Amino acid sequence: MKRDRGREGIYFDYAATTPVHPEVIRAMEPYLSEIFGNPSSPHSFGQEAKAAVEEARAKVAQLIGAREEEVIFTSGGTEANNLALYGVAYALRQRGNHIITSSIEHHSVLEACNFLEELGLEVTYLPVDGYGLLDPEDVRKAITPRTVLISIMHANNEVGTIEPIREVASIAKEYDVYLHTDAVQTVGHIPVNVNDLGVDLMSISAHKLYGPKGVGALYVRKGLMFTPFVRGGGQEKGRRAGTENVSSIVGFGRACELALQDLEGEMKRLTALRDGLIRGLLERIKGIHLNGHPTERLPGNVNVRIDSVEAETLLLNLDLEGIAVSTGSACSSGDLEPSHVLLAMGCSPEEALSALRLSLGRWTTQEEIDRFLEVLPPLVQRLRAMRSL
């Protein structure tokens, strides 16, 4: 990966986080030094910072086709997801107590749902098929008169499958139920427009689109019933209190602006790299399988499972070669937990533990793909030989 600053090595983990775009850093710098005012202050120091926050809000809104006042800045995707679920569940508690989501959501949705269950709400976790695709008709069947919210992710962060949100939205509308989508993996990577999609709430995170970490946004459609839960000084029109993270918000805005400029070109370039990588892997390695959908897929996502290979061992060996990849497994108290996403797609625990995610992005080159395709086959062969001993 070649950038004007940064380290050597091949980074295939853009879905975990992206490097901050140099132009984003440049946009942020003045707000870490001379422009330091508190946006809530009425004097000119404060008003200069406030103007920057509002300019960033306009840029975020533009990328997703929203109005500026519908964008609430948060500390990232996790908080946006929590805010969406608690905000609607509480506001509509008189109307109902039922939420519909999927079994492949990010932990920040699943854990928030678990908490709501502890508080007495009911949550339906819908299944997905072998590609990780949700069937919108399952949403229809799950809706009850007590359903207050549907939360389905736009694209899955592990296997890259893009969900049929438009279809889910038309069902949600039919039954007059709010729809939230976790669009952290899609905004800035494929066209995302809140009105085209028909969603009422949508989560975004800056560090997945070449912005800084610790900042994101929740889109909340105008007029929607919604209870804030971070309370204090009334920032963000009372919907999320706390002094704004001005420099990061400015960086987030700039990242959205840059994303919009290259969206189509990057999509095409990454899709070609992705498909070349998938083809190369399938040709060079026996017993390798693609996880997720062949076409309804994020441009930069490749996820494969490799028979008789433990992905975690492979990850560590690739790291020694200077190549950063990811597995979907989480380490809990020393044991490897297979990915809930792959299990939901019908993989056995062993298959799930053999899955490798390669996520490509703005600085990925064909040379890096070629090098990976040289390094991986002998490594897989070695690990398989060691395992059969």
What is the DSSP code string of 148-189? EEEE--SB-TTT-BBP-HHHHHHHHHHTT-EEEEE-TTTBTT
Phi, psi of 354 (to 5 degrees): -105, 15
Q: State which of residues 106, 221, 254, 340 lies at the interface with ligand PLP (CB under 6 A).
A: 106
Q: Which is nearer to ligand PLP, 112 or 315 (CB)?
A: 112
Q: At closest approach, how far in Å is the CB of 313 from ligand PLP?
A: 24
Whole-angstrom distance, CA of residue 228 vs CA of residue 244: 16
Q: Which is nearer to ligand PLP, 147 or 301 (CB)?
A: 301
Q: State which of residues 19, 87, 216, 228 lies at the interface with ligand PLP (CB under 6 A).
A: 216
What is the pattern of x (binds ligand PLP, CB under 6 A) and - over residues 136-165? -----------------x---x--------
Nearest to 148 by CA among 72, 235, 67, 87: 87
Total residues binding ligand PLP (CB under 6 A) = 15
Specify the pairing of strand 98-102 against strand 122-126: parallel
Q: At closest approach, how far in Å is the CB of 207 from ligand PLP?
A: 6
**Whether residue 113 lies in the annotated active site:** no
Q: Which is nearer to ligand PLP, 209 or 309 (CB)?
A: 209
What is the DSSP code string of 66-110? --GGGEEEESSHHHHHHHHHHHHHHHTTTT--EEEEETT--HHHH
CB-based contacts of 5-12 (< 8 A; 24+ apart in sequence): 8/322, 9/322, 9/323, 9/324, 10/322, 10/323, 10/324, 10/368, 10/371, 10/372, 11/324, 11/361, 11/363, 11/364, 12/323, 12/324, 12/325, 12/326, 12/358, 12/359, 12/360, 12/364, 12/368, 12/372
Q: At closest approach, how far in Å is the CB of 157 from ligand PLP?
A: 4
Q: At closest approach, how far in Å is the CB of 153 from ligand PLP?
A: 6
The CB density around residue 135, as the number of other CB atoms within 10 Å, is 15
Which position's Cβ is nearest ligand PLP? 77
Q: At closest approach, how far in Å is the CB of 79 from ligand PLP?
A: 7
Q: At closest approach, how far in Å is the CB of 180 from ligand PLP?
A: 12
Of 31-39, 71-79, 113-121, 294-302, the window that binds ligand PLP (rule: CB under 6 A) is 71-79
Residue 2: partners with Cβ closer than 8 Å, 6 or more residues away: 363, 365
Q: Which is nearer to ligand PLP, 178 or 252 (CB)?
A: 252
Q: State which of residues 82, 124, 151, 205 lies at the interface with ligand PLP (CB under 6 A).
A: 205
Q: At closest approach, how far in Å is the CB of 356 from ligand PLP?
A: 17
Of 82-90, 204-212, 253-261, 369-377, the window that binds ligand PLP (rule: CB under 6 A) is 204-212
Whole-angstrom distance, CA of residue 221 vs CA of residue 104: 25
Q: Does 184 bind ligand PLP (CB under 6 A)?
A: yes
Query: 75 with 211: CB under 8 angstroms?
Result: no
Q: Which of residues 73-102 bind ligand PLP (CB under 6 A)?
A: 76-78, 81
Q: Which is nearer to ligand PLP, 235 or 326 (CB)?
A: 326
Residues annotated as catalytic (active site), given as ranges: 331
Q: Which residues contact ligand PLP (rule: CB under 6 A)?
A: 76-78, 81, 106, 108, 153, 157, 182, 184-185, 205, 207-208, 216
